[in-house]
Amino acid sequence: MGRQPKTRRREYEYHPWSTYIQAREEARRRGDRTIGTELLLVALLSDPALASALGTDAAQARTALDELDSESLVAIGMDPPPEVPPLPAQDLQTVPARPTFKMVLHKHLRLTPCAKRVLSESSRGMRRGHSHPGPQHVLEGLLELREPDPAAELLAKLGVQPGVVRERLTDA
């Protein structure tokens, strides 16, 4: 019969761009002009497996971020803090695990330097093929951050211990 098809480049299921796009939507709703590490964390929480590893969910994380903001405003003397609701959600069709360039570039927002490093280091691991790539690699990068990084502060506020989560991720 015909020739065997050439071995195709392995099609990875996940690309960090999908996390970027979800984090960008969080940023837009909150009024952020840059995407910080804490929003990468909220974006990852839409994955049920990661949410259970962290023992929390995206809604709780959003509430915790709002509380952190309100507390800081009270601390500088704005008591009660002004109530400005987050911007309405745009109907974001479910983000594919591998988004297209067009989706990535549409309404682009910059990542903070630290968020950029976390995402690029996770995809560097993918290219080398050292491990099975996935959103958990982005999460591992986030768990290494120390306060006052916003993701570390959000984890502390949620009562999540990075060491415990790291163990759960390696067991899984």
Contact positions vs other proteins (CB under 8 A): 30-33, 68-73, 75-78, 82, 84-87, 106-107, 147-148, 150, 153
Closer CB to other proteins, 60 or 70, in the complex: 70
Least CB distance to other proteins at residue 134 (A): 30
Min dist CB 138 to other proteins, Å, is 22
Residue whose CB is less far from other proteins, 140 or 153 = 153
Q: Which of 44, 152 has the CB closer to other proteins?
A: 152
CA 25 to chain centroid: 11
Q: C-beta of 46: minimal distance to other proteins in Å?
A: 21
The three-class DSSP label of residue 34 is: strand
CB-based contact 37:145 (threshold 8 Å)? yes
Mapping DSSP to helix (H, G, I), strand (E, B) and coil, where does residue 141 land? helix
Q: What is the DSSP string of 114-127?
A: HHHHHHHHHHHHHH
Minimum Å gap between C-beta 111 and other proteins is 15
Reduce the DSSP state of residue 35 to 3 states and report it.
strand
- By C-beta, is 16 or 36 nearer to other proteins? 36
Query: Helical H runs in 31-94?
Result: 37-44, 48-54, 58-75
d(C-alpha 150, C-alpha 159), whole Å: 14
Pair of tokens at residue 158: 């949620």
- The CB-of-87 to other proteins minimum distance in angstroms stands at 6
Cβ nearer to other proteins, comparing 46 with 70: 70
